[in-house]
Amino acid sequence: MEAIGKLTGGVAHDFNNLLQVVSGNLELLSRDVAGNERAERRIGNALAGVARGARLSGQLLAFSRKQTLVPRVVCVERLVAGLDDMLRRSLGEAIEIRTTIRDRIWNVLIDPAQMENALLNLAINARDAMEEQGDGRRQLAIEVDNVRLAEGDAPLQPDVSAGHYVMVAVTDTGSGMTPDIIEQVFEPFFSTKQEGRGTGLGLSMVQGFVSQSGGHIRIESEPGHGTTIRLYLPRTTRAEDTDPAISASPVQGGTETILLVEDDDGVRDIAAAMVGELGYRVLSAKDAAGALDVIGSGADVDLLFTDVIMPGWLRGPELARKARERIPGLPVLFTSGYADDAILQGGPLDAGVGLLAKPYTREALAQKLRQVLPMSGPDHDGGPARDMAGSRTVLRLLLVEDDKLIRDNSAELLTEDGHVVTRAASAERAIEVLEQGQIDVLITDLGLPGIDGLELARIARRQRPLLGLVFSTGTDSPDILASGPLADAVLLRKPYDRKSLVAAVAAASVVRRSVP
């Protein structure tokens, strides 16, 4: 199955590149034939075909667990409630829908669009199973609840971790399944439906999405007694992400310089044409080495727009890190036919980084460019950036804390204060971050497992002598801070509030800037 998944992901990736060339040319052509109704209709039909191809490709990528997810902190209660009308239209009046949502449902970190697709897939499968049952009672029940899975609990599988989850269950009164059918339902292209009714990718797509989101699925079914499919999604303690305001104004371009990196000649040509048509200046490279040569030449680059998967010794994420070493704060927009773990391992993307799935439209490209460009302006002198008003310093912070709740809460407070925060759960990860990009202030817990906070600070100072330091601790000030190379570090005692945290970061920044 792993080999099939890799093959499927590779095929879908190449297919998405082809779709991008087709859709991009069709969109540009549509502007040339404006007013010709017959030509416009044919182009519209062709674009609809591209959209169908993209959906099929998305199902293949979901099975292979390589689809491009854009995770956000989501309130599942609101998401499920918002699907009610769509479910009723999709299932028809003959099926009764009953939804039960418990109080105070936790938030989860998922791609909301893919979650909606997963629930719709489960509901349609349930509808088909109930149609096979005949004229009996047809009811679809959706339940949302908070659950804590402990070691030894029945829902735990060998590759499932204990912890807090939001459980979404979809139950039908259909024909049910035998144990041998249950063992096969997640295999790609497996289906018990009549020929022509479905691709057999629905449940494999749902499983792929849930697995990519850090969750798992459990099926309970018995012939003649219906089926229950439970999705377990890991809880997040972060606040729900709000939807950005949608502007009704026409698509906006710009005059900035975009460095486009794409190894496929056809995709690169059409992408350059779309970006140029939006008013931007375009510099092109076919691989990471060429892109670094452009940056090394001293050319002004305002945004790096790069494919994730490229031939050669550097892929998109590594190119972005090296580009940001040379142009700190450089905004980056990744594009891909499938998601690579290197981009989305840590959940939401860092500030100044965006992700655009192939195939994309001119409008989607324009919106993403404008979203990413204001996030983080290039800072050519290597020092701390300024906010747009120029009134205060925007610092690049590295927050090292092994307690996830403290790490997430502190990062949120610092982000709200306008800083760019990179998180690390260990000193080892922090050292990797320090080697890859510019950091102004290191904030570290003293009691880290493995390499402790003091040793991390010593290593960091050897790499970056002007690095600001903040030590957080629940104990008294360690004697080692009284003198020596770490004597200028700022001590932040736990528990701390927002005011203390912000003040400590500001003090550490001022101390380092005053060093001759």
Average pLDDT over residues 237-260: 70
Q: Which pTM was predicted?
A: 0.44
Nearest to 503 by CA among 433, 446, 441, 454: 441
Give 188's pLDDT tier (boundaries 50, 70, 90).
low
Give 344's pLDDT tier (boundaries 50, 70, 90).
very low
Asked if residues 301 and 283 have their Cβ atoms less than 8 Å apart, the reply is yes
3-class DSSP assignment, residue 377 = coil
Residue environment code for 416-428, b if the CB has 16+ CB neighbours within 10 A, otherwise e: ebebbbbbbbbbe
Asked if residues 204 and 211 have their Cβ atoms less than 8 Å apart, the reply is no
pLDDT of residue 17: 64
Q: How far apart are CA 244 and CA 248, in angstroms?
A: 13
The superfamily CATH assigns to domain 257-375 is Response regulator (3.40.50.2300)
Please state the separation of Cα 138 from the chain's center in Å: 37
- pLDDT tens-digit readout, 308-326: 877 777 888 889 889 988 8
Give 59's pLDDT tier (boundaries 50, 70, 90).
low
Q: How far apart are CA 259 and CA 298, in angstroms?
A: 13
Average pLDDT over residues 431-437: 81
Q: What are phi and psi of 330, to 5 degrees?
A: -60, 125
Take residue 91 and report the two structure tokens written for it. Answer: 């299932």
pLDDT of residue 156: 55
pLDDT at 145 over 90: yes
Regarding predicted confidence, which is higher, 453 or 30?
A: 453
CATH class of 385-513: alpha beta
Q: Which fold has domain 72-236?
A: Heat Shock Protein 90 (3.30.565)
Q: Indicate the pairing of strand 227-236 with strand 107-110.
A: antiparallel
DSSP string, 17-57: HHHHHHHHHHHHHHHHTTT-HHHHHHHHHHHHHHHHHHHHH
- pLDDT tens-digit readout, 15-45: 666 677 777 778 778 878 878 888 888 888 8
* Distance between start and end Cα atoms, the chain: 60
Q: Look at 112-121, 346-355, 364-373 and tell me which has the smallest mean pLDDT.
A: 346-355
Residues paired with residue 235 on neighbouring β-strands, in sequence order: 108
DSSP annotation of 68: -
